[in-house]
Chains A and B, each alone.
Chain A
Amino acid sequence: MQPGRFSLKRLAYLDVYVLRGLSIRKSDSLQGSLDLLVLKILSRRARLHGYAIMSAIQDISGEVLRVEEGSLYPALHRMEEAGWIRAEWITKDSGKRARMYELTAAGKKQLGAEESRWQAVTLAVNRVLREA
């Protein structure tokens, strides 16, 4: 994915939000925009585990955006394989292990690209709403 380039296919962006209460089908996946949110969260806060990332998205969006819990992990693993985030096991005080994620340099770059793409898309949608 290169910054500044997006195709018609990429406009399917809008589908991948689960907007609670806005009557969008639940089965729509979080792919794509989920990446943006996760990267953004991790860019602000160092080292979070999956549950914390999920909670952060929910809290900050004022409970509007909700991540389908199980789907978070395949997404995290995919981003890890892509090299945008890296993971590390730590042992918590309770003796349980947790897998903590943090942003990599490649992830920062990717975040920039995703953000500008998001801006472009929302701008375009807004324009349609305004001028149609």
Chain B
Amino acid sequence: MSLWSRMTNVLRGERLNREIDEELEAHIEEAIAQGRDPAEARRAFGSTLRHREKSRDIRLITWLESLRADAIFGWRQLAKTKITSAAAILSLALAIGACTSAFRLIDALLLRPLPVANPERLYDLSRQGTGPEGKPQTFDEWAYPDFQLMRAAVVNQAELIAISSAEPADLTYKSDEEIERAYLQYVSGWMFSTLGIRPALGRVFTENDDLKAGGHPYAVLSHDYWTHRFGQDPTVIGRTFRMGNTLYEIAGVAEAPFTGTEPGTMVDIFVPTMMHPAVTRKDSTWHRTLAMVKPGATFEPIRQKLDATSRAFEEERAKGFLGMRKEDIDNYLNQTVLLEPAASGVSDLQSETRRPLAILGVLVALVLLIACANVANLMAAQASARAREMAVRVSIGGGRWRLVQLVLVQSAWLALLAAVVGGLFAWWSGPFVVSMINPPDNPARLLLPADWRVLGFGLALALAVTLLFGLVPALRASSVNPVSALKGGEDPHSKRRLMHALIAIQVAFCFLVLFVAGLFVKTFDRLSHQPTGFSADRLLVLDAVAKQPQPLEFWEQLAEHLRSVQGVETVALTDSPLLGGNSWNNFVSINGAPPNGVLSFMRGVSPGWLEAMKIPLIDGRDFLPADTHPGSALVNETFAKTYFDGVDPVGKAFDLAADEGGRLQYQIVGYVRDVRYRNLREPILPQFYVPFHSVGVSGVPRKKGAATLLVRTSISNARALAAVLRQEVPRARPEFRVSRIRTQLEINQSHTVRDRLLATLALFFAIVALLLAGVGLYGVLHYSVLQRRHEIGIRIAVGAQAGGIARLVTMDVFSMVFLGAAAGVTLGMASVRFIESLFYQVKATDLQILALPSLAILAGASLAALPAVIRAVRIDPVTMLRAE
């Protein structure tokens, strides 16, 4: 109670004073009433002021009281210079906001532990080895039979969980007319109990739901999906949906925060691993393996056991590898199992964005430092203007620490206001940035909570910033020497030296930000102008599915039907689009020679595919309806270079290993230009195309359950045809449905979306950095002209020329700019090693890359210096000297 009353008394200081005074006065009146001489009574009582101060210190918390006084004083001080304060707050807010926003993103994606029991004991299993191109690579997908062996091997030390990557699946709840997409994930039945996830409704899977291949058609929904798809309808239990040919029954809903172990993807539906079509296959790797290490278990023995088990499995399997070179097999077998912490989950988005996000984090931190330097300069200038005030405070007995507090409180005001504005900025910009990373057809769904972690970060940042830009001016202000300050000022150069050093630092950081931004922008520019080898204009990519696999004639009928739709120019069939993410590869052998270890990539395409994609034919012919796979092939230029020394290969033959054993023979009928297959960054791959018309070993044509139709339209806005096509597909044959429609342009752009984001954000930060550094430079020059106006006035009076004055004013600062820029170049060159892998066809030593930031900074500095120079040159010596 007493502490409380002392705290509240802080807020009612005036009233407290009055009360104490009244009581003391009452005492004297009482004394007079008792018949004492008034003068004697007052003398005996002593100084009322002193007693009041003493009582006051007892009745309230003094430090709080002084803090309050400083806060009010600091606020008034800020309000006095509204424009400068607003500029400082805004620039700081921008920087704090960007930092908080970056932290929010990085935290949500990379740092935040999964909402599961004991996330710190969760590990991701991967294999490290040498890839087909001889480069080291890590791979964290596993074949289920291997997983089963490994699980049994470490059953006493750790629980292994198989979790497929969450992929969009086509499913129907009622009639087949209403096909919908949901993110589906195959998970081990015991995942829920191992991760401590309880059902919100119904039940979750157990070990018993994951025993027999194809035998457990049950599904568990995520709480999020249950909410947005079913409005939390409790009767959802027992409802069924169909996916492919299987009818799944909804068994339950998992409790709320859990949406899978892949940050960036929110799983809608969990189904048991045993329902995966490849669950019994030893040659298909399709799931991640997570290990929940039991308490007290030692790490290395677990790893060794897993390593030995996996190696034995692969060695057994390698006995069946035919047509592969021995060194490739050795490379393949020579892999080490790694266990990496997965407390924050594992996802492709994580591994893809870890580096870019770290770099963006560094960039925003640099921008923050630049902003801090600005505010520090502002405070230093203010402090020098207040040197007399400080000196007076010191001479009448203000403690040094109270002066430090006075200046720090003012900094804290700035930081606090900036943090609030910045927080709002972060609130808005976080989701905005995520929406920018998202490729339209495959949105990253990321929970972006703004909770105590983000709040704590923001507050810690504000505190750090206060100390960073407030402490030096505060210490300087408190160390003021009253005698010299009151006499007319200390050494004016000491303040300017600090300001100049800050300018050099700002320029160095600014250069670094500009330099890195330049590299990202150039990379994006190179990538987006990268020729793909085909034309994406007016091209729709339509993924169609059928309930049952359909014979080729029906697929051709579908294509034929779509050709008749108004606005369609041409239609071709393929198994999947170029750059669409699916890859299909094999080792090619020429004339029965062993393969050379270079993988070739394949696509199944129909006649007319070349025309639809506008891929030029160099020699030979397109496929004819009679061509089959295996049998005929089209090959690209890189294929010809790899296997035929670049000689026109039409008429030559090659063969590859068949899945079922034996060799598949191909005759090259056409020779085509190179196109991009997987992505825009890697060198063009050797590719060959086989007819979509595929026949089995016995010569029976294979049926297909899904295919991609490439529709080139004659209207410029291809998307406008999507709705019509969606209706026309089932009209062609009732078996067919549209799974999704994209444009080829969207597919192409999805490969540069992250580069675009990096380039955009880096450019944004570069502009902010340049702006802040410019403002800082302007401020310092302005201050120094103000300080040296007498000197300049005298110089002008004795005949100095305008050029000389300009040189005098700017020389110090510009030498700092050059010093800073040189430091920036050095920093940039040193840092480039760490980020090189993110660049594409861009060299850090390019003249352009180095020249642009330098020019930008020089231009910015000149612009910032102009007002101060004009002011200096226009100083009128008469008025200036008279004013003294």
Taking Cβ atoms with an 8 Å cutoff, the residues of A that contact B are 49-52, 55, 68-71, 73-74, 77-78, 80-83, 96-99
Contact = CB atoms under 8 A, between A and B. Distances in A.
Contact of A73 (B5, B24, B30, B34): B24
Contacts of A99: 22-23, 26
B76 interface: no
A83 B1 contact: yes
Contacts of A81: 2, 5-6, 58-59
Contacts of B47: 70
Contacts of A80: 59
A80 B19 CA distance: 14
B2 A98 contact: no
Chain B residues touching A, range: 20 to 34
Contact of A51 (B1, B30, B48, B58): B30
Closest 6 pairs (CB-CB, A-B):
A70-B46, A51-B30, A74-B54, A70-B51, A77-B55, A69-B45
Interface of B: 1-2, 5-6, 20, 22-24, 26-27, 29-31, 34, 44-48, 50-51, 54-55, 58-59
B24 A83 contact: no
- Give the secondary structure class of B's interface: helix
A69 B58 contact: no
27 contacts: A50-B23, A50-B27, A51-B30, A51-B31, A69-B27, A70-B24, A70-B46, A70-B48, A70-B50, A70-B51, A71-B51, A73-B20, A73-B23, A73-B24, A74-B51, A74-B54, A74-B58, A77-B20, A77-B58, A77-B59, A81-B2, A82-B2, A96-B29, A97-B22, A97-B26, A98-B30, A99-B23
B55 A73 contact: yes
A49 B1 CA distance: 23
A51 B1 CA distance: 27
B9 to A, nearest CB: 10
Contacts of A73: 20, 23-24, 27, 51, 54-55
Given A69-B45, A70-B45, 11 more contacts: A49-B26, A50-B23, A50-B27, A51-B27, A69-B31, A69-B44, A70-B46, A71-B51, A73-B24, A74-B58, A77-B59
Nearest to A66: B44
A97 B2 CA distance: 24
Contacts of B51: 70-71, 73-74
A46 B26 CA distance: 19
Contacts of A77: 20, 55, 58-59
B562 to A, nearest CB: 88
Nearest to A55: B34
Contacts of A83: 1-2
Given A69-B44, A82-B2, A83-B2, A74 B55 contact: yes
A82 B3 CA distance: 9
Contacts of B29: 96
Nearest to A92: B26
A68 B55 contact: no
A69 B31 CA distance: 10
Contacts of B55: 73-74, 77
Interface centre among B6, B31, B50, B54 (most CB of A within 10 A): B54
Contacts of B59: 77, 80-81
Contacts of A69: 27, 31, 44-46
Contacts of B27: 49-51, 69, 73
B23 A68 contact: no
A88 to B, nearest CB: 12
B790 to A, nearest CB: 52
A31 B232 CA distance: 71
